[in-house]
């Protein structure tokens, strides 16, 4: 089976830390079948001149082709017009891929769009031009946030029911996409995996020493994008309250994004009790989790967040918001605590409790186990093979 992936959610030489979940899953899929990746780069005239201020500008420096974890990866540029509106992005994305149709005709059995809009929308049109079925993989915000916007929602309502299969990472996301008109018989749930070699219970004191963190006192750790919808500003406010009543409590924030400056300002006020570590390579993340007494995720919306899967595999309890597929992961008090999204008071109280709750990391890892990337890729392979065998009418 020959699979062509279409997605802007993928690493590149200029953004090597981007979307490790797609890199890991598609690399594992590539051990089962032929996988080529069109890791698109949003582009507009003059984007490269704005690299200092624009994500698209920074991405403009990506090479046209590279090999990542054994996968052949092209980086075609897709036209994106800032401030024009999301409704135009899908059609412009699809039009940007149209010149590639002759190159791929007859060389692909199925097109996999990863991210519902604009990627999945464009992947469906691209697959039609190639005469092959399309499968769209959903992640979370693509349906929970973007599908709530008028223009993109209409585009998804037209496109997604025409996909041979739609892959969701949680039951909650499957329910949401069914509401967009997708036949439930063509919706499959395939959870992401965890690299068990990286994420496993490790000694807390040794991890803190490796990272030059204080050896004493409870430590909370956040890993992820630093943006408002990930709840990082809620987390900072909640931590400030919890720190006032919990002696020695510290918070480490690992990641990069638009909220970095606001978090740095909070950290400066707290005089060393809050550490903003910035983006770190995936190989270092297990040490941050091992150093923690609890891992925190305060997102406003999610699919099935890999950071929770990884924290549990690392044997660390989780404090998280009860959104998306998170309640399917935190299924008992032994694994952590759920709070409502955007409720700073509830989050602050949960952080204080997490700081003083004893637990057995090995038992957390045992109860929280959800499978590795090979199992995830095998399930995705089965969905793709079913799409090739019986495409949508």
pLDDT computed for residue 74 by the predictor = 97
The confidence score (pLDDT) of residue 323 equals 94
Per-residue pLDDT for 52 more than 80?
Answer: no
The full length of the chain comes to 393
- Report the alpha-carbon distance of residue 40 to residue 79 in Å, rounded: 10
Q: Taking all residues of the chain, what is their mean pLDDT, rounded to a whole number?
A: 93
Comparing CA positions, the residue from 145, 207, 199 lying closest to residue 176 is: 145
Residue 365 scores a pLDDT above 70: yes
In CATH, the architecture of 204-368 is: 3-Layer(aba) Sandwich (3.40)
pLDDT of amino acid 17: 85
Confidence band (pLDDT; 50, 70, 90) for 87? confident
Residue 81 has pLDDT above 90, yes or no: no
List the end-to-end C-alpha distance of the chain, in Å, as a whole number: 20
Question: What pLDDT score does 57 carry?
Answer: 58
Nearest in space to 381 (alpha carbons), one of 11, 27, 8: 27
Tokens 């999610």 — which residue? Answer: 302
**pLDDT score recorded for residue 392:** 66
Whether the link from the prior residue into 118 is cis, omega within 30° of 0, is: yes
136-174 pLDDT tens trace: 999 988 998 899 998 999 999 999 999 999 999 999 999
Phi, psi of 5 (to 5 degrees): -90, 135
Q: What is the mean pLDDT of residues 227-233?
A: 96
Question: Is residue 97 pLDDT above 70, yes or no?
Answer: yes
Where in the chain is CATH 3.40.50.2000? 2-193+373-389, 204-368
Q: Flag whether pLDDT at 54 surpasses 60.
A: no
Residue 339 has pLDDT above 80, yes or no: yes
Distance set, CA 8 to CA 77, 114, 230, 310 (Å):
10, 8, 20, 23
- DSSP output for 44-102: -TTGGGGTTT-HHHHHTT--SEEEETTEEEE--EEE--TTT-GGGHHHHHHHHHGGGHH
H-run or E-run covering 244: helix 232-245
pLDDT at 313 over 90: yes
2-193+373-389 belongs to which CATH class? alpha beta
Distance CA 296, CA 354 (A): 10
Q: Tell me the pLDDT tens digit for each residue of 259-311.
A: 999 999 999 999 889 999 999 999 999 999 999 999 999 999 998 899 999 99
Residue 63 above 60 pLDDT? yes
């Amino acid at each position: 089976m020959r699979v062509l992936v279409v997605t802007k959610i993928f690493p590149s030489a200029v953004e090597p830390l981007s979307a490790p979940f797609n890199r890991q899953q598609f690399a594992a899929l590539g051990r089962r079948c032929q996988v080529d990746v069109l890791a698109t780069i949003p582009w507009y005239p003059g984007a490269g001149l704005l690299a200092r201020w624009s994500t698209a500008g920074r991405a403009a420096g990506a090479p046209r082709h590279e090999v990542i974890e054994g996968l052949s990866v092209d980086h075609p540029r897709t036209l994106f017009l800032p401030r024009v509106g999301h409704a135009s992005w899908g059609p412009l994305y699809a039009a940007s891929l149209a010149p590639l149709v002759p190159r791929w005709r007859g060389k692909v059995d199925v097109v996999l769009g990863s991210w519902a809009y604009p990627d999945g929308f464009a992947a469906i049109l691209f697959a039609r031009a190639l005469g092959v079925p399309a499968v769209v993989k959903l992640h979370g915000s693509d349906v929970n946030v973007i599908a709530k916007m008028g223009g993109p929602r209409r585009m998804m309502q037209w496109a997604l029911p025409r996909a041979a299969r739609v892959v969701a990472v949680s039951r909650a996301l499957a329910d949401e996409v069914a509401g967009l008109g997708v036949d439930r018989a063509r919706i499959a749930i395939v959870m992401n995996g965890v690299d068990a070699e990286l994420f496993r219970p490790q000694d807390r004191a040794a991890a803190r020493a490796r990272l030059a963190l204080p050896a004493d006192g409870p430590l909370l750790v956040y890993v992820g994008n630093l943006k408002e919808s990930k709840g990082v500003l809620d987390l900072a406010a909640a931590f400030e309250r919890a720190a006032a009543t919990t002696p020695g409590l510290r918070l480490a924030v690992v990641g990069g994004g638009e909220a970095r400056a606001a978090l740095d300002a909070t950290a400066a006020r707290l005089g060393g009790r809050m550490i903003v570590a910035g983006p770190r390579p995936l190989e270092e993340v297990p040490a941050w989790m091992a150093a923690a007494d609890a891992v925190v995720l305060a997102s406003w919306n999610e699919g099935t967040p890999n950071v929770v899967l990884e924290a549990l595999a690392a044997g660390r309890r989780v404090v998280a918001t009860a959104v998306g597929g998170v309640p399917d992961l935190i299924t008992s008090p032994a694994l952590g605590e759920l709070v409502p999204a955007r409720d700073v008071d509830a989050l602050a109280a949960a952080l204080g409790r997490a700081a003083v709750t004893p637990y057995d990391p090995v038992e957390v890892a045992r109860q929280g186990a959800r499978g590795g990337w090979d199992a995830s890729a095998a399930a995705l392979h089965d969905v793709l093979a079913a799409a090739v065998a019986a495409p949508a009418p």
